């Protein structure tokens, strides 16, 4: 084997985390869809594919390095949000937790002198910079719109705008 057992176990855990992230975005997307926010729903559905892609990269890397990525059970997704504002808070929290998990793996890679995995994880570190920036931007926009004040026009524009946005991974 080329990958140390310790980092393999962490990557396997992260693979499950990414699979759960896909379920998380699917659940939020379905909620937004049901509320009639088609643009937001499509944005969130697109993110499902991104998270599945993040998951697949880990599966392939672990196996390519002589490990065996074990597919594990998924967690129950969180309860539906009570507002769009809550939804985007949940998205930012999700990405912050993910960054913490990724940073921890990077830290352990250095401790274990597992430089190939350290190198592989840099893609995720870079991705998280973008994901955190995007989640922060969306939450900030929600705050400006002020959903609670019944700014329906603002929400409509936001829904249209977000439909045109998508990530690149
Ligand atoms: Fe939303 O990010 Fe995966 O890693």
* Percentage of the chain exceeding pLDDT 90: 82
Alpha-carbon gap, residue 39 to 156, rounded angstroms:
9
- Tens-digit pLDDT profile for residues 88-147: 999 999 999 999 999 999 999 999 999 999 999 999 999 999 999 999 999 999 888 875
- The pTM assigned to this predicted structure is 0.93
Mean pLDDT in residue range 149-169: 74
Which residues have CB under 6 Å of ligand 1? 18, 21, 51, 54, 95, 98, 124, 127, 131
Q: Which of 98, 121, 168 to mutate to test the pocket of ligand 1 (most atoms within 8 A of CB)?
A: 98
Give the containing element (helix H, strand E) for 12.
helix 5-35
| Ligand 1 midpoint to CA 120 (Å) | 14
Structure confidence at residue 167 (pLDDT)? 55
Q: Do residues 159 and 37 make contact, with C-beta atoms less than 8 angstroms apart? A: yes
Structure confidence at residue 160 (pLDDT)? 85
Provide the pLDDT confidence category of residue 154 given band limits of 50, 70 and 90. confident
**Cα distances (Å, whole numbers) of residue 4 to 43, 65, 113, 164:** 37, 9, 9, 42
Alpha-carbon gap, residue 85 to 80, rounded angstroms:
12
Structure confidence at residue 114 (pLDDT)? 98
Q: Which atom of ligand 1 is nearest to the CA of 94?
A: 1
Provide the pLDDT confidence category of residue 149 given band limits of 50, 70 and 90. low
**Cα distances (Å, whole numbers) of residue 163 to 29, 50, 120, 159:** 12, 16, 31, 6
Angle of the 152-164 helix axis to the 38-64 helix axis, nearest 10: 40
Alpha-carbon gap, residue 44 to 88, rounded angstroms:
11
Mean pLDDT in residue range 19-32: 98
Q: Which of 106, 128, 133, 138 to mutate to test the pocket of ligand 1 (most atoms within 8 A of CB)?
A: 128
Mean pLDDT in residue range 3-31: 98
- Is pLDDT above 60 for 46? yes
- Tens-digit pLDDT profile for residues 60-95: 999 999 999 999 999 999 999 999 999 999 999 999
Mean pLDDT in residue range 36-58: 97
| Ligand 1 midpoint to CA 157 (Å) | 27
Please name the residue whose Cα sits nearest to atom 2 of ligand 1.
Answer: 51
């Amino acid at each position: 084997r080329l990958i140390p057992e310790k980092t393999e176990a962490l990557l396997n855990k992260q693979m499950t985390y990414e699979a759960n992230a896909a379920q998380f975005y699917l659940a939020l997307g379905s909620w937004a869809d049901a509320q009639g926010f088609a643009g937001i729903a499509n944005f969130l559905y697109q993110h499902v594919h991104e998270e599945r892609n993040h998951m697949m990269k880990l599966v392939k890397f672990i196996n390519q390095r002589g490990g065996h990525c074990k597919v594990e059970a998924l967690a129950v997704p969180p309860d539906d949000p009570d507002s769009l504002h809550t939804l985007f808070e949940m998205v930012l929290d999700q990405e912050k937790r993910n960054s913490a998990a990724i940073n921890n793996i990077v830290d352990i890679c250095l401790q274990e002198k597992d430089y190939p995995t350290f190198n592989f994880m840099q893609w995720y570190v870079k991705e998280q910079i973008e994901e955190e920036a995007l989640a922060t931007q969306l939450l900030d926009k929600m705050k400006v719109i002020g959903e609670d004040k019944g700014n329906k026009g603002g929400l409509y524009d936001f829904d249209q705008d977000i439909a045109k946005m998508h990530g690149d991974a």
